[in-house]
Chains A and B, each alone.
Chain A
Amino acid sequence: MFKTILTGVALTLCFTGAASAQTPGGVANVVIQPEPPGLMLGLVQNAPAQTVAGNIYEGLLRYDFALKPLPGLAERWSVSEDGRTYTFNLAANATWHDGKPFTAEDVIFSVEFLRQTHSRARGNLAKVTSVEAPDAHTVVFTLSEPFGPFLGIFEVGSLPMVPKHIYAGTDYKTNPANNNPIGTGPYMFKEWKKGSYIRLVKNPNYHVAGKPYLDDIYWHVIPDAAARAVAFETGKVDILPGGSVENFDIPRLSQAKGVCVTKKGWEYFAPLSWLWLNNRSGPTANKAFRQAVSYALDRDFAKDVIWNGLGKPAIGPIASSTRFFNPKLAKYSYDPVKAKALLKESGYKGETVRLLPMPYGETWQRWAEAVKQNLEDIGIKTELVSTDVAGWNQKTSDWDYDIAFTYVFQYGDPALGVARNYVSSQIAKGSPFNNVEGYANPAVDAGFADGAATVDAAKRQAAYDGVQKIIIEDAPLAWLLELEFPTLTRCKVHDLITTSIGVNDGFRDAWIER
């Protein structure tokens, strides 16, 4: 009897001992929502595609929670004194999933490829005049002038490396390899049963020794939000990436036994929500009216009631988790009295204002109703105009709205994800993510240009402080909340989120306790 107990204790010790080290093997079951249209990251950039294909493809760099670069396919990098030359030393043992070596030629080709297919990469690479390969594992980027955020553009979703030997000389969009994506990442594409699941398997030749740990990753397509929550509750899936269940389910799910929650892994994207205010015509063309809207919004109510405590009231164009945010510039608090005074000053005559909700599920619908209430409380006649995703895209990109909900990613730097919404050169129909409000201010254009054109952090901060001050005063739009999308996992899943793009950086470090 005594002996049995001892053995039991020894076994338990043994198991707990083993559990604290990274155990290789195991299967991760993850929810993916919605089903991506494809997995070739150079061609498809929607959120679920990035989440799945971040395991298949890699970028040259990754970024920690403070957005400092970490090695990816590039092991080392250096910047020249004048901020115009960037040299990357690539991992010498990296190979594509079909066994061909990954070289500097692939980097040069990827730049060429993405300049044709990837609109964000096209903008990010605008200052690059040449990309050269002095040897097989060194790449040199030369810029026409210094570009402050340049080291921040190499994340896998922004600049994924694509294989030259498969795509060179072909029609990229119809290449059969698009349905069988080949990257350098820790997991390889295995199978996709449309409407059911996507299966990735371990890349045994991954260039980081000992990684990855898991054998398989199954991405389950479950279209109903309540059914996704049930799948997690019943243990059929272990991981709910941020945003895959309605936020009113999160408190219940996170209180269950053995469930871990993290808000990390969104620092690079820093999703910021706001109301587009059409600066061109109608009451929203008036600055006092726009300021009145900003004072009328009860952001704490939205955070506490509609988002169940998730998120943080936004004070201006730059999110607090990204660089060059300045907390001292806060101006708009919930103040209906001030809002009413400003509304009177604006000369508003009771015209009906159209409010376009975001067609992304229950939470957004309720939020639109709350904002309508806020606006009507100060005397703005508001009409909700609901539509689906395609209709919302059409209405915002054709400027057919008075007030419209949106949320936009910041991509780690004001020059990459903020300037586009305020500079006058970005006023163009056909995109729901540029300067949709039609705001034009030469001082703002100049400030953003100054902020981007130097690598000196102090000079950049000064430029962006100036810009933030003007924009907050002009109120071209009404900032709402910095959104949070917590990731829920079974606690046996470890090291899933290790960088500022979270699950999108793949399951490179993740392991499951067994």
Chain B
Amino acid sequence: MAGFIAQRLAKGVLVLAAIVVLNFFLIRLAPGDPALVMAGEAGATDEIFVTQLRTKFALDKPLPSQLAAYLGSIATLDLGYSVRQQMPVATLIGERLPATLLLTGCAFLISIVLGVLLGALAAGRAGTLADTAITGLALLFYATPLFWVSLMAIIVFSVRLEWLPSFGFETVGAGYSGFARAADIAQHLVLPALTLGLFFMAVYVRMTRASMLEVSRLDFVKTARAKGLTEGVIQRRHILRNALLPVVTLAGLQAGTLVGGAVLTETVFAWPGIGRLMYDALLQRDYNLLLGVFVVSSAMVLIFNLVTDVVYRMVDPRIEVAR
């Protein structure tokens, strides 16, 4: 097992390097550069101003030497400096990471717990009204655009009912600390985490239901029934457990995106997360920051892929860890 993990990690480093090089050129294909963006925002500009900015962003050097410099600093785990924000990239990402992890983590838990539960419920009652209701609801959440659900949730719960705050991470200027602060943050978290979670929940519901129905037709389930086991035990121990593999695959994929944040949800709810940081960096052509977010999130995807492979083995001991 340890050998397997070491080997995968080594491969991961190579993949990461390839991703960095690819992204480096990809984002430079977009028209415009950070100097022009800042000059444009200034409302007036001249030649000297743009040249100064280009020097400041180190854009006056040839591309290969820019790439070499970037790879060199990445190799020493230095993500570089965002000239636009006047801060090291690592600090900027570090500041946003807790908020993002809180949001995506909660959404992840909500979606997987509710999704598997409701999916199992629907599978156990396939063809009944409860099944139709659950799958119908799941389809609705799956098909409705996330930003629309978010805005509707704001209109209902923030504007009309006035139950929950509509934006932000916490009440600014309230000076809460300790438990009061946690409660305040939790209140702000409800709407974004739920709306983000509902989409993934829908995916898990459909996945769990389909997979369980497939497993329930297999011979060993018939055997279990013939043995006289109760329906509940069959559903839980025999069907659900064997139906979980595709769910784990999907959860692994979703977990990989946790760090990347959720641009739409973060934007609508003004949640100060990584997704928005990345989106702004893209619009502003803040190359270093954008690459930094890409590096961190691709590293996370690689790590979670590895974790998924290990979890497979735990869920289904028949699977040898692939070499």
A interface list, Cβ under 8 A from B: 27, 29, 34-35, 37-38, 45-47, 117, 119-120, 122-123, 173, 178-179, 193-197, 199, 216, 218, 220-224, 226-227, 230-231, 233-234, 236, 387-395, 397, 408-409, 420, 428, 430-434
Q: Among the listed B31, B151, B276, B284, which residue makes an inter-chain contact with A391, where contact means beta carbons less than 8 Å apart? A: B31
B 250-291 to A, binary, CB cutoff 8 A, 1 in contact else 0: 000000000000000011111011001100100111000000
Residue contact A45 to B159, C-beta cutoff 8 Å: no
| Residues on the A chain within 8 Å of B151, using CB | 226-227
Residue contact B43 to A227, C-beta cutoff 8 Å: no
Given A119-B49, A220-B270, does the pair A45, B276 have CB atoms closer than 8 Å?
A: no
Further pairs besides A194-B85, A428-B47: 19, Cβ < 8 Å: A37-B41, A37-B85, A38-B85, A45-B43, A119-B45, A179-B86, A195-B95, A195-B277, A218-B172, A218-B173, A220-B167, A221-B270, A227-B166, A230-B167, A231-B166, A236-B167, A390-B285, A408-B43, A420-B44
Residue contact B159 to A389, C-beta cutoff 8 Å: no
Q: Considering the complex, which residues of chain B in the window 71-122 have a beta carbon less than 8 Å from any beta carbon of chain A?
A: 84-87, 92, 95-96, 99
Residue contact A390 to B41, C-beta cutoff 8 Å: no
User: Taking the complex as formed, is B219 at the interface, i.e. its CB lies under 8 A from any CB of chain A?
Assistant: no
Q: Among the listed B31, B45, B96, B284, which residue makes an inter-chain contact with A387, where contact means beta carbons less than 8 Å apart? A: B31
Alpha-carbon gap, A224 to B192, bound state (A): 14
Closest B residue, CB atoms, query A426: B46
| Residues on the B chain within 8 Å of A221, using CB | 270, 272
Closest A residue, CB atoms, query B168: A196
User: Taking the complex as formed, is B225 at the interface, i.e. its CB lies under 8 A from any CB of chain A?
Assistant: no
User: Which of B31, B38, B96, B280 has most chain A Cβ within 10 Å?
Assistant: B31
Closest beta carbon of chain A to B129's beta carbon, Å:
36
Given A37-B84, A179-B87, A224-B267, does the pair A195, B272 have CB atoms closer than 8 Å?
A: yes
Residue contact B270 to A173, C-beta cutoff 8 Å: no
Q: Among the listed A45, A195, A230, which residue makes an inter-chain contact with B154, where contact means beta carbons less than 8 Å apart? A: A230
| Residues on the A chain within 8 Å of B50, using CB | 430-431
Alpha-carbon gap, A395 to B44, bound state (A): 16
Q: Among the listed B40, B86, B173, B266, which residue makes an inter-chain contact with A393, where contact means beta carbons less than 8 Å apart? A: B40
Q: Among the listed B33, B84, B154, which residue makes an inter-chain contact with A390, where contact means beta carbons less than 8 Å apart? A: B33
Given A220-B270, A227-B166, A230-B166, does the pair A45, B31 have CB atoms closer than 8 Å?
A: no
Alpha-carbon gap, A197 to B174, bound state (A): 13
Residue contact B45 to A236, C-beta cutoff 8 Å: no
Question: Which 5 residue pairs spanning A and B have beta carbons closest together?
Answer: A390-B32, A195-B272, A46-B41, A393-B40, A391-B31
Closest A residue, CB atoms, query B170: A196
Alpha-carbon gap, A397 to B46, bound state (A): 11
Residue contact A236 to B165, C-beta cutoff 8 Å: yes
Alpha-carbon gap, A159 to B2, bound state (A): 63
The size bracket of the interface on B is 35 or more
Given A179-B87, A233-B159, A393-B39, does the pair A220, B172 have CB atoms closer than 8 Å?
A: yes
Residue contact B43 to A433, C-beta cutoff 8 Å: yes
User: Taking the complex as formed, is B42 at the interface, i.e. its CB lies under 8 A from any CB of chain A?
Assistant: yes
Given A199-B173, A391-B30, A397-B36, does the pair A227, B268 have CB atoms closer than 8 Å?
A: yes
Given A220-B270, A222-B167, does the pair A393, B32 have CB atoms closer than 8 Å?
A: yes
Closest A residue, CB atoms, query B42: A45
Residue contact B167 to A390, C-beta cutoff 8 Å: no
Closest beta carbon of chain A to B184's beta carbon, Å:
13
| Residues on the B chain within 8 Å of A29, using CB | 172
Residue contact B44 to A389, C-beta cutoff 8 Å: no
